[in-house]
Structure 1
Amino acid sequence: MDKKSNKMLVISLDALGAEDVPVFTRLPNFRRILSGGSHCFNVSSVYPSLTYPAHTSIVTGCYPKRHGVINNTRIQFKRLSPDWMWQRKYIKTTTLYDEILRRGRTVAAFLWPVTARSRITWNVPEIFANRPWNNQIFTSLYNGSAAFQAVLQKNFGHIRNGRSQPELDDFVIECVKYTLAKKRPDLTLVHLTDVDTQRHLHGTLSGEATSAICRHDRRLGEILDTLETNRLLDQTNIIVLGDHYQKDTFTAIYINYWFLQKGWITVKGGRLSQWQVYCKNCDGSAYVYIRKGFGYLKDAVREVLLDLAGDGDGGIEQVIEGKDAAALGADPHCSFMLEARDGFYFLDGFRSPSRQVDDMNVRDGDEPMRATHGYLPGKPGYQTVFMAKGPDIANKAEILSMCLVDEGPTLARLLGVTLPDADGRVIRQLIRTVPQISVKEKKEI
């Protein structure tokens, strides 16, 4: 990387979408980013449009089938709470932060997905204790920068209330402000989930979601003020982006219920013990896997799924063949992929064909959500956003459309590095000055 390259701060506002433009463009600190900066209010996510695949696509420029993070959670059918793809080891390609570190520069990350056990200089990973013998503090320390996290916990731990919002994002912002002032990283990655949490709990257009956007405006202001106070504002390219939007829901559907009726799943002691065919949820979409050695069931499985899709009340909008799902960027190893109708989403359970959200209870192992994501990115009203301002950012450029995979190559170009395996393109209209790099970008406009 060119030694004169400016710093970069990437702030991901999980579940902020183009539908929020009328709200956040009126807020003072969002306006500070938009004034003199550039933006795109028509950004397509990746498929499935989930947080972990999306954030990995942002820093790799690759679709999930390429970078390997094809879902939020792993296939662990015997566990009520499967592990998430927390660790860097699940990413099969290089990342933006790997390329910065390779050049001897520094990186800080705060709850950025799929960074646990990475080489990031100052890392507070997004991970939670998922075993009864573990606790949250030990799990975080082990998977991130232990000494650094200990200092943050000592100074700001009183703000946090477990994983509850808005306290979690308020804790993160204090950690970011401290790190920007004391450590001055070359690249800082920040993941804030307040809006996403409120939408899951209360719905996309709820007052709680709007209040979370307003809290984000205050948080942005605190970060901008910190940069200005420490004379970093003029040398920092600030990126504010979303990863996906959400859609309102009222019913969860359980495809594994039908597989159980067919004898393709075996249950013992109330838990799944064996499977030949299994449905793994991605919230608004779902993978269907046929176990190796049982490929002869594929036609029968297709027939069951198409019958369910033909039932208007069944919740399935589309049955996608595995090869077509791969063409959309999803897991190439699935046999089928299912897309939910508006108002529906998938869960992994098998005790009933469906349940109304209002009748669900977390204690039963279900996750009642009044809005969620994971759907096909091209659906109307489901786009996200990208905003940028800084010394290398073009003045008032408006990009009509882009994809999440375009963000990684564009950010890499701003930092003077390259992502050689990226599927996306460099959005040159966003860039005012282009640092020299040794390897020519394969795709750019």
Structure 2
Amino acid sequence: MDTGKAKYLVVISYDAFSEDNWEKASRLPNLSKLIQNGAYSTKLRSVYPTLTYVVHTTMVTGVYPDRHGIYHNNPFQPFVAEKEQRWFWFKKDVKVPAIYDALKGSRMKSAGILWPVTGKASIRYNIPEIRAIKKENQAFKILKNGSPFFSIRMEKKYGALRRGIEQPFLDDFTTMCAVDTIKRKKPDLLLIHLIDLDDAKHEHGTDSPEIEKVLIRMDKRLGDIMDAVEKAGIKEDTVFLVLGDHGQINVRYKVRLNQLLREKGLIYEEDGEMKWRAYIQSAGGAAYLHLRENDDEAEHLTLDILNKAITDGCYGIERLYDRKELDGFHAASLVTYMLEAKTGYCFEDGLAGEVVTDLEEQGIKYATHGYSPDKAGYRCNIVISGDCIKNGYSLGEIRMVDIAPTMASILGIDFHDCDGRPLNEIFYH
């Protein structure tokens, strides 16, 4: 076991916290305090596609999607409406160990509050991010897949703060659970997922007045968590790691490319059931092209349709990536092709409505993510702060795969089989 730099690590995933939010957020009282007392970057490069569950799995495993196996928020479920789809809720779907597994092996305590892909994970105090679908019971589903006594206690104490998944109530609940957990349990590692900013960008766009209100709310939540650490008497021994998982981009046009495939008979109905030879699974600003196995004709037809659509220009396809290019991104190996949307466009699976919908014409504001991590102005922010970290230290370009090895370095645990590296330059030696 290595020697750690700090006894406690509090990781706050600040969903959708990207470089365009830095100027305002970094001037707010609590984040600015963490920056002064730590290292930071506005050039944290995410993974492809930039979807929450894909990125959060990389954060805690230190490997790219081609190794950890979480390629989307949702497993592939053709023709199932988005609201009824299963998500990658369970740790069993992750093909490699996570940092909290290494903690358990070192007899250290971990806690997770609404951290993605942690259903039935080896986290001591766990309220997984999980949602009831169809006729399931939400409370029962959390108890079954998290830590029952811990979850019941948090629900009894703070459940009244919540109104389903509505904001700001959900993040207020998460923050109160985090505060309570720090004071009562003092976990060596606490993973917290806060979603208010992501929700606001989706609903209002990236540059609406709502965003500033959320940044202020988020700073207050940060302050509450910092205050809990102080009250628990562990401030000198704690490192805070605050980071975004992806940016968002304003969308004017929603594009349903499966309709082009349907027109050419690649998606069809047979005996009252929908079937596919080719199917586009949207990931917001990107999409996976699924092809029926050993159907070369379907592949040729589909590539022909998509290349024509690229030439047409009105479908918002920026690139059709082949496997060689996807290997460069370390993208999941389940498909041979992916599509990247142009800025201002996003993809949807649906077969109803127009192929291209102009949201501006309908007076709808919307933003999304999923795009290539290399899109302009789309990098994430990170702040790592504590007594062992150099003050006001600018990190420059770093990668999402560097996060888990850095967590391991802070806590002094062995976690070496990563695609990233520990950011040891941030420490006072």
Structure 2 equivalent of residue 124 of structure 1: 127
- Residue 373 of structure 2 aligns with an amino acid whose one-letter code is P
Which of the numbers 192, 198, 201 marks the counterpart of 2:200?
198
Give the Å deviation of 1:358.
5.8
Find the aligned partners of 2:205 and 2:307 in 1 and give their Cα distance: 30
Post-superposition Cα deviations, 1:184-211, rounded to whole Å, max 9, x if no partner, equal: 1010000000000000000001111211
Q: If the length of structure 2 is used for normalisation, what is the TM-score?
A: 0.95
Which of the numbers 400, 423, 426 marks the counterpart of 1:427?
423
- Say whether the 8 Å CA contact 1:41–1:386 is kept in structure 2: yes
Structure 1 equivalent of residue 106 of structure 2: 103
Spell out the pairing of 1:271-350 with structure 2 (5 A cutoff). 273-350=274-351
Find the aligned partners of 2:134 and 2:388 in 1 and give their Cα distance: 45
- Say whether the 8 Å CA contact 1:395–1:432 is kept in structure 2: no
Which of the numbers 180, 201, 213 marks the counterpart of 1:211?
213
Give the Å deviation of 1:277.
0.6
Find the aligned partners of 1:340 and 1:374 in 2 and give their Cα distance: 9
Structure 2 equivalent of residue 149 of structure 1: 151
Structure-2 change in CA distance of 1:311 and 1:39 (3 Å): same
- Say whether the 8 Å CA contact 1:323–1:332 is kept in structure 2: no
Residue 200 of structure 2 aligns to a residue whose secondary structure is: helix
Find the aligned partners of 1:3 and 1:386 in 2 and give their Cα distance: 24
Find the aligned partners of 2:297 and 2:313 in 1 and give their Cα distance: 28
Give the Å deviation of 1:323.
3.2
Structure-2 change in CA distance of 1:54 and 1:82 (3 Å): same
Find the aligned partners of 2:308 and 2:3 in 1 and give their Cα distance: 60
Structure 2 equivalent of residue 377 of structure 1: 373
Give the Å deviation of 1:173.
0.5
- Say whether the 8 Å CA contact 2:409–2:424 is kept in structure 1: no
Find the aligned partners of 1:99 and 1:19 in 2 and give their Cα distance: 34
Spell out the pairing of 1:167-206 with structure 2 (5 A cutoff). 167-206=169-208
Post-superposition Cα deviations, 1:343-376, rounded to whole Å, max 9, x if no partner, equal: 1111111223122336889xxxxxx870011111
Find the aligned partners of 1:123 and 1:177 in 2 and give their Cα distance: 14
Alignment gaps of 5+ in structure 1: 362-367, 434-445
- Residue 200 of structure 2 aligns with an amino acid whose one-letter code is Q
Residue 386 of structure 1 aligns to a residue whose secondary structure is: strand
Spell out the pairing of 1:2-21 with structure 2 (5 A cutoff). 5-21=6-22
- Residue 109 of structure 2 aligns with an amino acid whose one-letter code is T
Find the aligned partners of 2:43 and 2:271 in 1 and give their Cα distance: 48
Which of the numbers 398, 410, 413 marks the counterpart of 1:414?
410
Structure-2 change in CA distance of 1:79 and 1:360 (3 Å): farther
Post-superposition Cα deviations, 1:62-97, rounded to whole Å, max 9, x if no partner, equal: 111111011111111142122111100111111111
Give the Å deviation of 1:3.
7.7
Q: If the length of structure 1 is used for normalisation, what is the TM-score?
A: 0.92
Find the aligned partners of 2:151 and 2:271 in 1 and give their Cα distance: 41
Residue 317 of structure 1 aligns to a residue whose secondary structure is: strand
- Say whether the 8 Å CA contact 1:397–1:429 is kept in structure 2: no
- Residue 376 of structure 2 aligns with an amino acid whose one-letter code is P
Residue 224 of structure 1 aligns to a residue whose secondary structure is: helix
Structure-2 change in CA distance of 1:82 and 1:269 (3 Å): farther
Give the Å deviation of 1:260.
0.8
Structure 2 equivalent of residue 436 of structure 1: none
Find the aligned partners of 1:425 and 1:39 in 2 and give their Cα distance: 16
- Residue 389 of structure 2 aligns with an amino acid whose one-letter code is I
Spell out the pairing of 1:16-27 with structure 2 (5 A cutoff). 16-27=17-28
Give the Å deviation of 1:16.
0.5
Q: Runs of 4 or more off by more than 4 Å in structure 1?
A: 1-5, 358-361
- Residue 430 of structure 1 aligns with an amino acid whose one-letter code is I
Structure 1 equivalent of residue 41 of structure 2: 40
Find the aligned partners of 1:412 and 1:53 in 2 and give their Cα distance: 20
Find the aligned partners of 2:26 and 2:76 in 1 and give their Cα distance: 40
- Residue 113 of structure 1 aligns with an amino acid whose one-letter code is P
Post-superposition Cα deviations, 1:146-204, rounded to whole Å, max 9, x if no partner, equal: 11111111111110000001100000000000000001101000000000000000000
Post-superposition Cα deviations, 1:296-354, rounded to whole Å, max 9, x if no partner, equal: 32222211111111122111111111332132121212121000011111111122312
- Residue 358 of structure 2 aligns with an amino acid whose one-letter code is Q
Is 2:397 the partner of 1:396? Answer: no
Alignment gaps of 5+ in structure 2: none
Residue 392 of structure 1 aligns to a residue whose secondary structure is: coil
Which has the larger displacement, 74-83 or 144-153?
Answer: 74-83
Give the Å deviation of 1:400.
1.2
- Residue 273 of structure 1 aligns with an amino acid whose one-letter code is M
Find the aligned partners of 1:72 and 1:392 in 2 and give their Cα distance: 35
Find the aligned partners of 2:216 and 2:369 in 1 and give their Cα distance: 22
- Residue 374 of structure 2 aligns with an amino acid whose one-letter code is G
Structure-2 change in CA distance of 1:407 and 1:209 (3 Å): same
Residue 394 of structure 2 aligns to a residue whose secondary structure is: coil
- Residue 111 of structure 2 aligns with an amino acid whose one-letter code is A
The structure whose RCO (Cα within 8 Å, separation 6+) is larger is 2
Find the aligned partners of 1:181 and 1:3 in 2 and give their Cα distance: 25
